Amino acid sequence: MKTFILPALCLTFLIYLSGCGKTTTISSNMELTGKWELERIVQSNVTIKKPTLAKGQMEVSLIFKDKGELEGTSSRNYLTGFYETAQQNTIQIGGGGTERAETSWGNMFVNALPNVNLYDLKADKLILYYENNNQLIFAREQ
């Protein structure tokens, strides 16, 4: 009986390990790489649309590069960092950037970005989910 239990336990443990903790950078997901422009933010079921740019403001965008590198712009600042995905569309984003006076649109983006934990791709739309199903909704830039 002991000789059967030990191999069964080892096999179960190996199956568990092979299914958990697999982490791959998004560079293997070619659909995500490229430039994405923020169109809308959904917070507490309220949709906030991209405002008209004033002089001196930049589009809020993210550029997902190969090997997990990330670049972006907020309304007035440049961002650099990294991203990494795991199973079931989980994503981790980190980094930093300059800190010049943001617009309210830029502030919402900058404050949400570190809390992003899931992503979804749908027909040239990227949705980044954070805090209780809030969403950053991007369109692929051509």
- Asked if 77 and 106 count as a contact pair (C-beta separation under 8 A), the reply is yes
Q: What does pLDDT average to in each consecutive run of 10 residues of the chain (142 residues)?
A: 41 35 44 94 95 92 93 94 89 82 91 94 93 95 84
* Cα–Cα distance for residue pair 61/82, rounded to 1 Å: 14
Domain ranges of the chain: 22-140
Neighbouring C-beta atoms of residue 112, cutoff 10 Å: 19
- A 10 A CB-CB count for 69 gives 17
Residue with tokens 């649109």: 105
- Phi then psi for residue 94, to 5 deg, are -145, 160
The whole-number pLDDT of residue 49 equals 97
22-140 is classed CATH 2.40.128.270: yes
pLDDT of residue 30: 61
59, 71 contact by CB (below 8 A): no
pLDDT value of residue 140:
96
Chain center to CA of 5: 43
Q: What is the pLDDT, as a whole number, of residue 26? A: 39
pTM: 0.77
- 3-state class (DSSP) for residue 91: strand
